[in-house]
Structure 1
Amino acid sequence: MAKKAFKGFNKDLTCRGFQYEEGKEFETARAECCEEGFHACEYPLDCFGYYNPAQSVYHEVELDGDMDQSGSDTKICATKIKIGARLSIAGLVKAAIDFTMSRVNKEASSDERHGYASATGDYGASSATGYRGASSATGNCGASSATGNCGASSATGYRGASSATGDYGASSATGNCGASSATGYRGASSATGYRGASSATGDYGASSATGNCGASSATGNCGASSATGYRGASSVSDPTGVAVAWGHEARAKGCLGAHLILSDWRYIGEKYSDGDYKYPYRVESWELAGAKLVIVDGEKIKADTYYRCINGEIVEVDEDGEIAE
């Protein structure tokens, strides 16, 4: 019986050297988790543990044939796979909340004006649908959703999913590998954990990723995207938006007409004998050397291309933040 799942890929839709293609089906002889077969996760945010949101893309997939299950999370592998549509961070958050809601009894819900709902257990689900409602999920893999205007949603557990869909809504994911999405007008989304992903798709929305290797995206008009963690990635896809890369070795990209703010940090911490950084994740290992504001003009600064500020110069980098050759 076919099973719906989610899979992470490199930006070119490869995984461990194998080239996939959207809409195509693939088949192999044997399925054994971590050894052979096509791997995917039933819980969408489990993909973050294998593919960093700052460097990856995610697709819905359909698994079939012989299957094997991993015991550590929801990872499964199969002998057959069909690659479905690509999902944005907001899409992953919605899928994660749908996954949790469909498998547990709602621990708390509120649909009244100014109502409050809270879920504290692992895989708990919390929802607030009224005006200025507040929803919170504190357990691991919890799901929190606020759909009313001015609502607030928070997921603090490991791989939690938080969503605010109403206008002026606020969404926050503070656990590692968590995902936060704000889709309403002037919505605010924040992901503070390691490998966290934050997305703001509404006009005048604000998205922030402060954890190391986090990913932040703003797609609405006049949106703002910020990545302040080590090697974070910030992007904006509307010409009225701004992407800020303020973390150590952080990078930013934008569409034609967008603005990028790139910080320049100097490493002053200890190094190994081969020159590699010893403590790059420590704030005290860096000092701010400056910053630059640039416009994506399509000539000096290309569209949909990551840039960093290094030693006072604007440098093109690849999807991983390494200097492009």
Structure 2
Amino acid sequence: MIVYKATNNDMTCTMGQGTFQYQLGVPATAEKSKCGDTGLHACEYVLDCIGYYSLGRGNRFFKAAAVGDIAEDGTNTRIACTRLTLKKELDNRDIAREAMLYMLHHPQRNGWQKSGHMLCVAEQTADIKIPDGIAIARGSSPRVSGCIGAHLGLIAEQNGKIVAAKLFDVDGKNILPGIWYTLDTLAEAERRQQA
């Protein structure tokens, strides 16, 4: 099962009554798994990790593989497992992409809206004013804005089905800070860039 794991800057996490040290590419193991109690914890939706480790505060985020005994408890998409391997470290743009892919693959699931330090994922309108921050707007007429260095996403849906999605960055040349982008205005900006 593909999941996401967040850690402290030194790749440690609290585990039960102690601390566990992760290593990239090295499988971590636990004897048993029970969400919130024992095992190695991760989330199916990368942005659910933000509730445990926020963006931009030295925390690190990884795409991982969970195997063995996998337990769920209905707390967001959190799981506990008996074997977890951190496969790839994610930067904030990667996190935005993985969040959008989750929504594309699971359009009917609730809990996709998130906000926090460096993060705004909301229905219809999202805005971020922190460089390297993430703003994703999802809805029938989504619009998004951000500062230079922000990662922006638009997800359009009709009748409960996602019909278009686009991830882009505010570079200050082609995509400008403080401008509200829709899929149409983004397409126009991309046409101007190619001309």
Choose which of 77, 80, 91 in structure 2 pairs with 1:77. 80
The equivalent position to 1:67 in structure 2, one of 58, 66, 70, is 70
Note the 1:129-278 alignment, pairs <5 A. Answer: 137-138=123-124, 144=137, 152-153=143-144, 162-163=152-153, 182-186=168-172, 187=175
Report the alpha carbon displacement of residue 123 of structure 1 after superposing the two structures with TM: 5.8
Secondary structure (helix, strand or coil) at the match of 1:66 reads coil
Q: CA deviation at 1:144?
A: 3.4
Instruction: Specify the alignment match of 1:218 in structure 2.
Output: none
In 2, Cα distance between equivalents of 1:76 and 1:124: 17
TM-score w.r.t. the length of structure 1 is 0.37
Task: State which of 23, 48, 68 in structure 1 corresponds to 2:50.
Answer: 48
RMSD: 3.4
Is the CA contact 1:100–1:123 (under 8 Å) kept in the aligned structure 2?
Answer: no
Task: Give me the whole-angstrom Cα distance separating, in 1, the residues matched to 2:24 and 2:38.
Answer: 21
TM-fit CA distance, 1:85? 0.8
Checking the alignment, whether the CA contact within 8 Å between 1:153 and 1:162 is kept in structure 2 is: yes
With the length of structure 2 as denominator, give the TM-score of the two structures. 0.59
1:3-24 per-residue CA deviation (whole Å, 9 max, x = no partner) reads 0011110001111121111111
Within the candidate set 29, 32, 38, 1:30 is matched to 32
Structure 1 residues 68 and 153, CA gap change in structure 2 (3 angstroms): same
Change in CA separation of 1:124 and 1:9 when aligned onto 2, cut-off 3 Å: closer
**Using the alignment, how far apart are the partners of 1:31 and 1:86 within structure 2?**
24
Alignment partner of 2:102 out of 96, 99, 102: 99
**CA 1:52–1:189: 2 relative to 1, 3 Å:** farther
SS of the residue aligned with 2:5? strand
Q: Which has the higher contact order (CA 8 A, sep 6+)?
A: 2
Describe the shift of the 1:188–1:58 C-alpha distance in structure 2 as closer, same or farther (beyond 3 A): farther
* Residue identity opposite 1:67 in structure 2: I
Shift of 1:184: 4.8
> How far, CA to CA, are the matches of 1:30 and 1:153 in structure 2?
43
Tell me the alpha carbon deviations over residues 211-270 of structure 1, each in whole angstroms, 9 at most, x when there is no partner.
Answer: xxxxxxxxxxxxxxxxxxxxxxxxxxxxxxxxxxxxxxxxxxxxxxxxxxxxxxxxxxxx
The higher radius of gyration belongs to: 1
Does the residue aligned with 1:51 lie in a helix, a strand or coil? coil
Structure 1 stretches of 5 or more lacking a match?
A: 106-120, 126-135, 146-150, 155-160, 165-180, 191-325
Within 2, Cα distance between the matches of 1:8 and 1:188? Answer: 31
- Inter-partner Cα distance in structure 2 for 1:31 and 1:54: 29
2:63/2:87 contact within 8 Å kept: yes
Residue 104 of structure 2 aligns to a residue whose secondary structure is helix
1:308-323 to 2 correspondence within 5 Å?
none
Local SS of the residue matching 2:153? strand
Number of aligned pairs?
A: 135
TM-aligned CA distance change 1:43 to 1:124, over 3 Å: closer
Gapped regions of structure 2 (runs ≥ 5): 114-121, 126-134, 146-150, 155-166, 179-195
